């Protein structure tokens, strides 16, 4: 084998390796993008609950358990563990009609979600 043949073989190996690496990196990026889409969908399912609380000015009977149920299901499916824990704490307080505890856990949940979204989207923290 001549040196030209070795150069061709090494070039082909480098190109094939590059294809595999590019494919692997693209697949990881696609998975991360899908994960982000589903995670944002779970956060969006909480918005109707949040809006009804804001409209009422506090926790009220207007917050339907079906809205909470949908938000809970999406958080269970697509949320991170710390988000699921905060959501469960909030929903448990709402179900037990412990208004002070629900308000405190809601505040914690909102702060957590706000900081998580800003961190995930690489948005600088909002400072007054």
CA distance 22 to 25: 5
Q: Encode pLDDT of 25-75 as tens digits.
A: 999 999 989 988 888 888 888 888 888 888 776 666 556 677 788 888 888
Of the candidates 12, 117, 106, the one whose C-alpha atom is nearest the C-alpha of residue 56 is 106
52, 63 Cβ separation under 8 angstroms = yes
CA distance 43 to 49: 11
Neighbours of 73 (CB within 10 A): 12
Q: At 97, phi and psi to the nearest 5?
A: 60, 40
> pTM for the full model?
0.68
Q: By percentage, how much of the chain surpasses pLDDT 90?
A: 24
């Amino acid at each position: 084998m001549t040196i030209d043949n070795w150069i061709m073989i090494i070039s082909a190996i480098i190109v094939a390796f590059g294809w595999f690496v590019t494919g692997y990196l693209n697949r990881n990026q696609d998975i991360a993008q899908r994960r982000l889409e589903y995670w944002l969908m779970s956060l969006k399912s909480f918005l109707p609950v949040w809006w009804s609380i804001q409209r009422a000015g506090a926790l009220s009977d207007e917050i339907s358990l079906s809205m909470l149920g949908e938000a809970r299901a999406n958080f269970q499916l697509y949320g991170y563990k710390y988000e699921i824990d905060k959501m469960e704490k909030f929903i448990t307080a709402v179900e037990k009609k412990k208004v002070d505890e629900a308000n405190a856990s809601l505040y914690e949940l909102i702060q957590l979600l706000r900081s998580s979204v800003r961190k995930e989207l690489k948005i600088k923290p909002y400072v007054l």
